Amino acid sequence: MKKSKIEGMVAAAFTPMKAPGDIDLERIPALTDHLIRQKVQGIYVCGSTGEGPSLTGAERKAVAEAFVRASRKRVPVLVHVGHNSVREARELSAHAREIGADYISSVAPSYFKIGSVEGLVHALAEIASGAPELPFYYYHIPRLTGMAVNMPAFLEQAGRSIPSLAGIKFTSPELHEYQACLNAAGEQYDILYGTDEMLLGALAVGAKGYIGSTYGFLPLLYRRLRESFDSGDLQKARALQLQSVDVVRIIVKYGGLAAQKVMMKFSGVDCGNVRNPLQGLSAEDEASMEKDLLKAGFFDIVSEMNKQ
């Protein structure tokens, strides 16, 4: 199995919804085309951004299949298969293989917390075994899973039990541990960074690939940030990262994922609302957020994107 490297920007895709929280598969081709026009290097589906934990198994399969079909192999599709049931996750892995996905990724089961590297490897090995031909990325997101197992130690042990291990989707602000993972991984594994508002720091310690939700509606900002970093214009790169920070602070102010889905609408691709148990923004909050985004320069970037 060839473990091809992922470099550049991978968009964590939103799952389009229609009232009252039903998935809307018909919007996925337009969303996919939008992301590809904005030069993303991959699409990550059914993860946190895609509300994967709130979807049924059948819905997750339908969404993954729709994105794979819409991508037409123009960019790779990474399917998140994580589930509190290891067997269900393994089944989702097998399905991802059957529909032609390029990669699979999984959080660990988190209701019953795993407290050791050995336990994490044991669970992930079964999940990955559903699609042994597909490169597998562990999705490390301790803020949501409540698990902070030592990641460099995980890389050292997991390679012996998970032959398809390709790396880690590292969604944590702890840059020192991220750097330690890069050092431990060497040339063998990809360590994809997943905290958009700290991308510049990740690039500084060696990141090559990165996955995030704000890449769906502000990809131009991050392309310019990467270009500025690569050319040595750190002053410009810092200014662009600060603009990202300003937008993320607005996301946090207005409730996270619900706010981001409104931002997708503002960027010209309506993905609908969030699903219960998440709650959408009120009309008043949406109007207030629009004013905050205007001050942050969000709409200036969106306008430039839409002219391309």
Catalytic residues: 139, 169
What sign for the dihedral angle of Cα 203, 208, 214, 216? positive
Which two tokens mark 282? Answer: 């009120």
What pairing do the DSSP bridges indicate for beta strands 42-45 and 8-12? parallel
What whole-number distance in Å separates Cα of residue 139 and Cα of residue 142?
Answer: 9
Residue given tokens 């097998």 in the structure block: 94
117-128 vs 86-99: helix axis angle to the nearest 10?
A: 40
What whole-number distance in Å separates Cα of residue 170 and Cα of residue 190?
Answer: 10
148: Cβ–Cβ under 8 A, 6 or more apart, which residues? 142
Q: Half-sphere exposure of residue 40, counting CA atoms within 13 Å on the CB side?
A: 28
Nearest CA-CA partner of 24 in 281, 275, 272, 280 = 272
Q: How many CB atoms are closer than 10 A to CB 51?
A: 22
Residue given tokens 């969106």 in the structure block: 302
Q: How many CB atoms are closer than 10 A to CB 56?
A: 9
